[in-house]
A and B are shown apart, each in its own frame.
Chain A
Amino acid sequence: MGAFDFLLQGLATAAEPMMLLYALIGVTLGTAVGVLPGIGPALTVALLLPVTYRLDAAGSLIMFAGIYYGGMYGGSTTSILLNTPGESASIITALEGNKMARKGRGGPALATAAIGSFIAGLIATLLLAFLAPWIVKVALVFGPREYFALMVLAFVTVSAAFGDSALRGLTSLFLGLALACVGIDQLTGQARLEFGVPVLLDGIEVTTMAVAMFAVGEALFIAGQRIHIDDELTAVKGSIWMSASDWARSWKPWLRGTFIGFPIGAMPAGGAEIGTFLSYATEKKLSKHPEEFGHGAIEGVAGPEAANNASAAGTLVPLLTLGLPTSATAAIMLAGFQQFGLQPGPLLFATNPTLVWGLIASLLIANFMLLVLNLPLIGLWVKLLTVPKPWLYAGILLFATLGTIGANPSTFELGMLLGFGVLGYGMRLFGYPIAPIVVGLILGPMAEQHLRRALSISQGDWGYLVQSPIAAVLLGIAALALIVPLILRARGKGEMLSQLAGDED
């Protein structure tokens, strides 16, 4: 069967009434949480993970897909109306979109963002569906050394390639790797770094750590700033519909944004931000109205928003086909799979095709639902933006602890939540990025297993790791991604890299 047959089968799974209901709940919750200021997609997904604990695997993952796409949509509304991007990938949207809103063109800005997200999500999900079987075929010949090389590449791109300091990126990554060592060694069964605490034998829960880092750390940081003026909300005036000239100026940026964003998300290049920046630069260069850029150009919303969503779908390519999360959001999604004992990767396509294709198909359905849900209900979402900060953060912490308690109602687990929250606060204070520590924690054990398997095959010969062309090329790219930015920074060209930095996803 080709990808098309599988996709049709998946649509049949995802179109069952219960599954549609799960998808609807997912997109609604995802949008509602994603729209709240200060909450990016990674935190949205982490906060809503406990809602899915007691569902069956298919229903839960479908709800999850809805939450993921919903969180992305919600984030763009926040950045257009509040000018406080909840996530780094929305910075550009905030730049042009908020200017449009101030000129009374908030409606068209929201519309072009929503429709652009829809088109990008549609094309990118279809690309995902048609690419996935090919990558799975390639991945079937991957051995432990290729996987190890892929993970090294993901480590480097997440931690050192972008951001304002390789030192702090790498420190964050190595702290994650150190935490990943806690627990029973998967190959010999020996307990490591558990200090006599039985709970630690299972290792450190990724969701506890992610929620602590993103929710608790962020709440502490914002509280410490003690600036309690609520951000100024720009009201949506006039028609929310786009005029004919808005359409004419939007459709090309949507398509360009999609084809810029998708490959960047699909490569282990760390985050959606880069795609949005590239798309913005492209639109600025190609626009017939370059003078409007910086003052509310609709192309500057349409292109980057499409790129943002396309690369979000792109990160699902390595996640589903290789089991490789390349962003914090994807790392939390991987944790969502693992709660059902599912390991994404080529094997999952073979052993549980209904589930995988149902998930991909439900992404398409979620995308349609979001378009319908977003434009007419925009007034409702805007109301959510006006929640005052005390209630907002009190609620965030309530749900953050709820997730931890729901997964494991123990005092020790809450203590870890608090401990990692304080660590996350300290890291924010000193300018350490958060994504590397999360990715290090979740990928660390896998990288170790693949490394040790590879070395078992070669009987301890390290040269084996670079003797396969694929592994050698991947490791070579990883080395370049580590060294080139170091040289650029040393020559004082680091500003561009720090602009590409991502906090969250």
Chain B
Amino acid sequence: MSTVPGNELLTEVEVPSRAGARSGALGKALDTTIRSLVPVLLALVAGGLLLVILGHDPFAFYSSVWEHGAQGKAWQESAKRMAPLLLIAVGLIVAFRANIWNLGYNGQFLLSAAVISGLAPSLVNDLPLGLAFLIMFVVAGLVGAIWTIVPALLKAFYETNEIITTLMMSFIGVGLAQILIKGPFQDPSVNIAQTKVLELNKMLPHIPGTKVHIGVLVALAAAVVVYLVISRTAFGLKIDVLGANPRAARHVGIQVKQLVITSFFFSGALIGLAAAADILGVWGYIRANWNPAYGDTVIPFVFLARLNPLVVIPFIAFFAVLSTGGTLATQEVGLPTDFLLVLVALILLFMTVIEFLGRRRSLGQSYLPNGLRAALRLPGAKKREQEAAG
């Protein structure tokens, strides 16, 4: 049972509610919300202090971010930015819930993007536009999915650590994408390593009355579908069981190998869709040196949303505003755009701090899924468990 002698009694009674923890469903929801928002707010405050130190006015900066990211017609830019971010976030959620750490998102994304950029110019001319888009979304999904197969098989059959294999496949994927762009998909009419640019009227149609392409709707639909699959279906429950306790999954007869491969597949596929939405909706071509690394910035928000595909939507929206508005705002005041990454890093930092304090004071739910939380040993955790027992 437990490794700490003497806390046998603790399991006899309901786990006592500790000081600082609210009781009741409402209180718990409040706790969770607060806990999700506090790291973001603290990061904005700390970022503001940093701006003061650098000799800028933080209020002016943040209002400039808001102005360029959300006000007037600026929100449309942010909405477009949401499409790839949200699809990647949902793709990561599928894998993370199964306790599979698909960190190969950059390779999966860029490879899909390269393939789509290469195929699009001829496909949109040869086929009816709707069919061409459909085919390209399917192809993008497949490319992303196929790029997970090697880590998936290694994980399923040899229990190889997928963090390492997906990262390695990611580097290979990025390299391969560059080879494709410089080789077969190179636009012969220019001297830069890039694919042929899609004509403006051959890109994804806009939502009527806006300049937002329909890829955003695809992303929102994907989030809702994944949410329903996870909360309602047998497949979703199996993923959660696998994520929470892989040994239990084996014990109750879940086909763990199949499930690992399927989760990887869907994760990669969603990330591939992100590439299709971004290329067909926004860019229309790809350059060899282009790597937006969307996934890296998305990960903190996936955890802030506690791997919930619906809750992640507002977080992604926030980051989209910060990212589009922030790019202009930083240029305005003469800061490098990397300052936005500093803000993301600060969010991560404060998440870690709150996770640490949260364990001590039972502040709502952890950001981490159970499987990962058990694998991590926070400093002093054992001592606190003993205190909790005594």
* Same assembly: no
Footprint of A on B, CB under 8 Å?
none
